[in-house]
Each structure stands twice: as structure tokens, then as C-alpha cells.
């Protein structure tokens, strides 16, 4: 049967400008043997770990960032007497108290100095080091994990208008999903489709139905946007709802056969006015984690969430009261499978001699090592596989023992 949905998928393949609605991000899913769940969230734009997990116990932080309020005295939630959590993520504190939230500080990929978002994200998702050109890598580290797991198979899902995440791309079966889509066609485009399918009754009817529904839904969306715009602009509710929808869908699949889910969260590039700019993505990340916990129910106890970014930001604020592209940063971890309630990693300090290149937080650990130990603990991947295949050239080092 040729349906409107089939027509939409075909139109997307033909390049007819199918736009994902209401979300622009995909959720990528895979089913693997075993009972543990892993969620990887790629934080695109370089999250400022020094703002999200504030080392307020280091007196140099406040000196370096006079316009960025830090510490419990400015509304941050105290974690351990040295680190504090950004106020926009304070809703996560019950998870911290329950041992279901943790952080890793002063981590990075091996990417250095050029500070390109695209290159940094490519390296993060490919899982490579500087000695292996990312352009030569055709799959992501999560997909290489799947390739090594007997019985791994794709979960049924749909992708409209967006590709799967590179971290899960590769030869192993995995599917991408995005919410329903509508056609966004110009008058010429419509005329072309009508001409192409004029003599094909089945496709002609499916196309007509799709475009009729498109017109109706577009009008409804525009009207709703006009009515809700002031509230959306004031609260960021629209973006928050979109983020929660991704997490809700991921949780619904993880309750069933899916064992690995990956999606992304943008908005972390805070060059200007960081005090206000970072609140939105920070609140969305916190809400995503809480939505996953609620949606997973008892399966949360078998779940680990890793929220990773391509690199950190400068230790000092810039002239626009923001921060620029840096090196060392932080990773957010959550879930019932986590030994939480602590900040992992070795703190390097913020003294001039302790900074990387005199400007950035010095990385003291490879973020891939934490991801590697997660794969070892969650799915039984051995050290040789992790260091030689999944994360090319990685030295895992000692187990940080952040899993139960």
C-alpha cells in the first residue's frame, strides 16, 4: 500500500526538502544483547565545564570570571565543598544525593589547539586520536562496539530529514528516528511533483494528501507559534519540550529491546553573555536526564547516561562576558548503574603554570577512557578490543570504578 508516510519518505530521498517537525535532532537507537542500557548525549558547541561543574573552591576561578557568578553564594548547588552545580541544573540534586549523578572534570579528547567545532565533534564521535586522521574513519565508536557484539541488531525506527549520529554510524545495524515530517515545497516544486505523478493514480493521490495535510499543519503551527511566541521566548519552553520529546522517545525504546540510544543537544557555544546563554542548554540537559529517569522506570537502575562535549572553554572570560573555545572540560554522568555522588578526575588547578597553553583547563584524562570503562562495565568489552578497535590508540589506564 502506498501511503502518505511512504510518499513522505520517498520525497525525502528525492531531495524534496522534508523538514523534521517539531525537532531537528534525531535519536539513534540500537538493540544489543544483555540487560544494561547506555545513553550517549553529544553536547554540541563545547559545553563550559567550569560553569556547569564549578570548582568554586579554587579561588582563581572567581578572579578569572568576575562577570560569571560562581559558587553557592551565587545560587549554585554545593556538591562536595569544592565543586558546585550550575543553578540551571539544580533539579538534578536529588539524583546526586541518591548516588545517581556524577561528573568527570578536566577531561578531553586528544584534539588540541585548532579548536574547530566540526573537527572536535568528528574526533569525539569517531573515538580516534590525533595519530589517526578522522577522515579515514567510516564509523563511530558506538557502532564499532556493536560490530563486536554477537546478536546485535537494528531496532525498528524511522529517520526523516536528518541522518543518524556519526557516533553510531557504521556497518553494524542501527536505525535513526525523528518525529513525523511534512513537505516544505515551493510552488514550482509542487507543480513538478504534480507533473511527475500525473499519470500514476496511487502516487498522485498520496502526494495530494501529503500536501493537503502539510498546508493544514503549517497553518496550525504558524497560528500556535504566534499565540505562544511571547511565552516561548520568555521561558525557552519550546526548546525544552523538544529536548524532552527526544528523551521520552529514547526511554520508550529502552524499556523494550533497545539497549543503546544516542542523541545530541546543541546551544553550548557561549562566546557572548554566557551567564544568560548557558542557562537554556543546561536546563534542557537536566530535564532530559530527569525525563529519561521517569520514562525508564525500573530500567533506570540498569542505565548509564554519558553527556559528552567536543572540548571545554577558556578559563578566563572574554571581553563579551563569555568564554572562547578551550581544551579541558567536563562530562556529565547519570543513571542507576552509576556510582555517583562524586566528581571524578584529577583537578589540575587554575594557576598560570597549571593551564594548558596558558589559557585553558589542563586535561588530566582522556574522555575516551571513561567511555571505554563504561563499555567494559556495561557490555563486557575487553581491554584489547577497547584500545585496539573501538577507541583507536587509546590507553585506558586504571579503572576509575564509577559503575556499580
101-113: pLDDT as tens digits: 999 999 999 999 9
180-227: pLDDT as tens digits: 444 455 556 556 656 666 666 655 665 565 555 444 444 444 444 444
pLDDT for position 283: 97
What single DSSP character describes residue 313?
Answer: B
Write down the pTM of the prediction.
0.80
Rounded to 5 degrees, what are φ and ψ at 182?
-125, 160
3-state secondary structure of 259: strand
Per DSSP, the chain holds a count of helices (H) and strands (E) of: 13, 14
CA pair distance 318, 322, nearest whole angstrom? 5
What single DSSP character describes residue 150?
Answer: T
**Which residues does 185 contact at the CB level (< 8 Å), separation at least 6?**
16, 17, 193, 211, 214
Identify the CA nearest to 249 among candidates 179, 182, 169, 304.
Answer: 179
pLDDT for position 257: 84
- Per-10-residue mean pLDDT of the chain, 404 residues long, equals 41 34 53 84 96 97 95 97 98 98 98 92 92 80 87 46 64 66 52 63 59 48 43 59 85 88 92 97 97 97 98 98 98 98 98 97 98 96 95 95 98
**Which residues does 145 contact at the CB level (< 8 Å), separation at least 6?**
260, 375, 379, 381, 390
3-state secondary structure of 356: strand
In terms of C-beta density within 10 A (0-12 exposed, 13-18 middle, 19 or more buried), how is residue 170 classed? buried
Strands 329-334 and 303-309: antiparallel
pLDDT for position 79: 98
Could you tell me which residues are beta bridge partners of residue 262? 28, 40
Identify the CA nearest to 38 among candidates 375, 308, 381.
Answer: 375
Ramachandran bin of 358, using left for φ above 0, alpha for ψ from -120 to 50, beta for the remaining angles: left
Amino acid at each position: 500500500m502506498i501511503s502518505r508516510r511512504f510518499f513522505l519518505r520517498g520525497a525525502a530521498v528525492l531531495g524534496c526538502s522534508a523538514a523534521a517537525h517539531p525537532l531537528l535532532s534525531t535519536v539513534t537507537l540500537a538493540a544489543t544483547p544483555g540487560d544494561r542500557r547506555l545513553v550517549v548525549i553529544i553536547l554540541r558547541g563545547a559545553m563550559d565545564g567550569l560553569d556547569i561543574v564549578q570548582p568554586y573552591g579554587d579561588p582563581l576561578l572567581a578572579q578569572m570570571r568576575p562577570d560569571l557568578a560562581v559558587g553557592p553564594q551565587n545560587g549554585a548547588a554545593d556538591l562536595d565543598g569544592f565543586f558546585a552545580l550550575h543553578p540551571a541544573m539544580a533539579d538534578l540534586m536529588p539524583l546526586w544525593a541518591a548516588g545517581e549523578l556524577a561528573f568527570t572534570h578536566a577531561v578531553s579528547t586528544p584534539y588540541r589547539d585548532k579548536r574547530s567545532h566540526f573537527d572536535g565533534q568528528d574526533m569525539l564521535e569517531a573515538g580516534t586520536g590525533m595519530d589517526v586522521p578522522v577522515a579515514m574513519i567510516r564509523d563511530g565508536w558506538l557502532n564499532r562496539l556493536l560490530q563486536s557484539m554477537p546478536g546485535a541488531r537494528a531496532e525498528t525506527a524511522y529517520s526523516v530529514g536528518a541522518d543518524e549520529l556519526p557516533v553510531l554510524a557504521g556497518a553494524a545495524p542501527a536505525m535513526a528516528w525523528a518525529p513525523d515530517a511534512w513537505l516544505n515545497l515551493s510552488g514550482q516544486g509542487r507543480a513538478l511533483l504534480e507533473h511527475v505523478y500525473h499519470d500514476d493514480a496511487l502516487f498522485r493521490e498520496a502526494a495530494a494528501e501529503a500536501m493537503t495535510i502539510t498546508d493544514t499543519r503549517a497553518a496550525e503551527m504558524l497560528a500556535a507559534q504566534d499565540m505562544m511566541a511571547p511565552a516561548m521566548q520568555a521561558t525557552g519552553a519550546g526548546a525544552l519540550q523538544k529536548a524532552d520529546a527526544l528523551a521520552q522517545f529514547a526511554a520508550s525504546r529502552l524499556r523494550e529491546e533497545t539497549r543503546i540510544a544516542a542523541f545530541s543537544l546543541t546551544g553550548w557555544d557561549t562566546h557572548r553573555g554566557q551567564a544568560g546563554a548557558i542557562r537554556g542548554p543546561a536546563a534542557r540537559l537536566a530535564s532530559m536526564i530527569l525525563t529519561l529517569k521517569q520514562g525508564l522506570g525500573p530500567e533506570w537502575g540498569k542505565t548509564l547516561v554519558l553527556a559528552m562535549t567536543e572540548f571545554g572553554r577558556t578559563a578566563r572570560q572574554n571581553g563579551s562576558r563569555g568564554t572562547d573555545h578551550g581544551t579541558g572540560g567536563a562530562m556529565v554522568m547519570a543513571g542507576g548503574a552509576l556510582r555517583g555522588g562524586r566528581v571524578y578526575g584529577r583537578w589540575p588547578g587554575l594557576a598560570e603554570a597549571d593551564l594548558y597553553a596558558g589559557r585553558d583547563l589542563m586535561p588530566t584524562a582522556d574522555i575516551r577512557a571513561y567511555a571505554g570503562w563504561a563499555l567494559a562495565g556495561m557490555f563486557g568489552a575487553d581491554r584489547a578490543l577497547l584500545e585496539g578497535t573501538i577507541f583507536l590508540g587509546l590507553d585506558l589506564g586504571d579503572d576509575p570504578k564509577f559503575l556499580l
